[in-house]
Structure 1
Amino acid sequence: MSLPTVSQDHFKISFAPLSLEEVYKLADDPANGAIIVMSGTVRNQTDGKPVLYLEYQAYEPMAIEVFRTIATNLRQQWKDANQVVIHHRIGKLKIGEISVLVAVGCPHRGEAFEACRYAIDTLKHNVPIWKKEFWSDGSSNWVSIGACEQMHNQ
């Protein structure tokens, strides 16, 4: 008879580069049949405008609380979710660097995919994190990552 697993969710906001290996290990659990990891990276353009780099800022205490709420709400819909890991980077990020990692471990792949998508979509709309895009023409602009996501989905 196996003992029920105890959630070891992990949330972090960091100036240091994010680690796929670390996030995967944190999401691992003997009850998992699937671990889905979503990696968000800095791309080289926004709406065809060349981007040089991004700068992220966060209201960290509130952001971590929102990460916890995402995990709690996620488990209301996907009750078998074992582990939820959300790490977000702040500071200056170059093209190709990882800005966010979300991992969800579940017994089955379908629920793991759905739960991970829920986590990143909810993060993009609710977490107090802002990014400033620095463009090749010398201009820049601060936007909420939620506002940015909404602009690109219209």
Structure 2
Amino acid sequence: MIEVNLIYDELKIEDIYQKAVSEECGAVALFIGTTRNHSDQRQVKRLIYESYEKMALLIMETVCKEIKEKWSTVNNIVIYHRLGEVPIGKASVVIAVSSPHRQESLDAVHFAIDRIKAVVPIFKKEEYENGDVQWKENKECLWSQK
């Protein structure tokens, strides 16, 4: 099973985890990306995510298919990304992958977050405590000006 979603509400980690659980699998690996309170030695107040949603969902599904091709024993893949405001300490992305054994799900989750940051059109704006704002690009993204 593959499920991807973009939502504007708080991510419910337990619900996402439960979607990935499978009676056939002995492992569920989770990655939870959260908003930290600093970036580049600046105090962050919150993050704001925007996306070209239709394209982002299609590419997220493609990432899941890539995972299934690389790790044939992976069972369920669930990826949720939050859009809009994400306060400090709250989850912005949750990835859950189940597999019969831990190594496949751990490897798949690592691949998934790196790939999402590289190819999915989700854009992050940091708002700082002093009122400044800055759009940030992931160093992994394919359109980065490295």
Alignment TM-score, normalising by the size of structure 1: 0.88
Partner in structure 2 of residue 96 of structure 1: 89
State how many pairs are aligned. Answer: 143
Partner in structure 2 of residue 67 of structure 1: 60
Partner in structure 1 of residue 37 of structure 2: 44
Establish whether residue 116 from structure 1 lines up as the match of residue 109 from structure 2: yes
Any unmatched runs of 5+ in structure 1?
A: 1-7
Q: Which has the larger radius of gyration?
A: 1
Change (3 A) 1:148 1:95: farther
Any unmatched runs of 5+ in structure 2?
A: none
CA RMSD of aligned residues (A): 1.6
Deviation of the 1:137 alpha carbon: 2.2
CA deviations over 1:12-56 (Å, ceiling 9, x no partner): 100011011111111011111100010000000002211011111
Does the aligned pair in 1 maintain the 2:114–2:140 contact within 8 Å?
no
Cα distance in 2 for partners of 1:149, 1:95 equals 23
Cα distance in 1 for partners of 2:42, 2:141 equals 16
Cα distance in 2 for partners of 1:36, 1:107 equals 11
Q: Give the % identical residues.
A: 34
CA deviations over 1:122-145 (Å, ceiling 9, x no partner): 00111100011011222111123x
